[in-house]
Amino acid sequence: MQDQALFEYVLRLADDSLILGQRLGEWCGHGPILEEDIALTNISLDLIGQAISLYDLASELEGAGKNHDQLAYLRFENEYKNVLLVEQPNGDFAMTILRQFFFDAFRLPLYEALMQSPVAQLAAIAAKSVKETRYHLKHTSEWVIRMGDGTDESHERAQAAIDHLWRYTSELFFEDNIDEQLQERQLVPSLKGIQANWMETVKAVLSEATLTIPTNNWKFEGGRQGRHSEHMGYILADLQYMQRAYPNMEW
């Protein structure tokens, strides 16, 4: 192992992108309007692209000679380190958009900070992804506002999605000794600052959308340690199907 802590850190980023991209891919062909079908697919595509770059970097840091597909496809469930938020089911359009909004509002300041990282490859991935993420956040923010300030039904659906997903948002800022170590080495930013930035975005958008922030702050965590929700197994069953059924083949 070249750099265990940095490997773990990059893997977490990669898994977040992969699993959320995978979830969004389920929408393809089923969107509420053609334009949104295209937009959701586009976000999915960006996330899969980011995952490829991040897994490439992770595999280099691991130094075990695994390629990005082996990392993405051939681990066991408890070896995936994504947050629980991204594995939650698509639900209705409001649930998907709110899940994406919470994630984008976290990813944008994180990428902005990572652009300054002395780990050149990580900074490069962040610089490329920051543009995509800025567009995603703009898109999801607009929809949150539209739904919140649209009809009674859309308002209720959006609020219900917020109330449901809120419990998964604190995990976005989960830190353990991996983060501490890397922060000490000044390779990555503290998530405290990112969280403040996230809260500002969330408050501004929800207030414009006439939606409210839940008061219940009970936290759901575990993804970063590989403890997932019941949904994860099904996601992996689809994701890994070909690689498991036809091992060691090239596609």
* 91 contributes a contact to another protein by CB under 8 A: no
Cβ 174 to another protein, closest distance in Å?
A: 25
User: Tokens for 74?
Assistant: 């051939």
Work out whether 249 is an interface residue with another protein (CB under 8 A). yes
Q: Find the part of the chain contacting another protein (CB under 8 A) among 106-114, 185-193, 221-229, 233-241.
A: 233-241
Close Cβ partners of 40 (under 8 Å, ≥ 6 residues apart): 24, 27, 28, 31, 96
Query: Which lies closer to another protein via its Cβ, residue 103 or residue 198?
Result: 103
User: What is the Cα–Cα distance from 216 to 34, expressed in whole angstroms?
Assistant: 36
Q: What's the Cα-to-Cα distance from 227 to each of 81, 156, 208, rounded to whole Å?
A: 8, 31, 35
Residue from the set 2, 89, 116, 146 that interacts with another protein by CB under 8 A: 146
Q: Which stretch binds another protein (CB under 8 A): 4-12, 68-76, 120-128, 180-188?
A: 68-76
Q: Which is nearer to another protein, 17 or 117 (CB)?
A: 17
Q: Are 55 and 72 in contact (CB under 8 A)?
A: yes
How far from the centroid of its chain's Cα atoms is residue 113's Cα? 16
Q: What is the closest distance, in whole angstroms, from the C-beta atom of residue 34 to another protein in the complex? A: 5
| Interaction of residue 150 with another protein, rule CB under 8 A | yes
Q: Which is nearer to another protein, 32 or 193 (CB)?
A: 32
> How many whole angstroms separate alpha carbon 89 and alpha carbon 27?
11
Q: Which of residues 169-228 bind another protein (CB under 8 A)?
A: none
Question: With respect to another protein, which residue has the nearer C-beta, 74 or 196?
Answer: 74
Least gap, CB of 230 to another protein (angstroms): 17
Note whether 160 binds another protein by CB under 8 A. no
Q: What is the footprint of another protein within residues 29-58 (CB under 8 A)?
A: 29-38, 41-42, 44-45, 48-49, 51-52, 55
Residue from 11, 61, 72, 95 in contact with another protein (CB under 8 A): 72
How far apart are the C-alpha atoms of 243 and 156, rounded to whole Å?
41
Long-range interactions of 204-208: CB distance < 8 A, separation 24+: 205/101, 205/105, 205/141, 205/144, 205/145, 206/144, 206/148, 206/162, 208/145, 208/148, 208/149
Residues 6+ away with beta carbon under 8 Å from 75:
none
Question: 35 or 184, CB closer to another protein?
Answer: 35
165 close to 220: Cβ distance less than 8 angstroms:
no
Using CB under 8 A as the criterion, which residues of the chain lie in contact with another protein when the complex forms?
18, 22, 25-26, 28-38, 41-42, 44-45, 48-49, 51-52, 55, 68-69, 72-73, 92-93, 145-147, 149-151, 153-154, 157, 238-239, 241-243, 246, 249-251
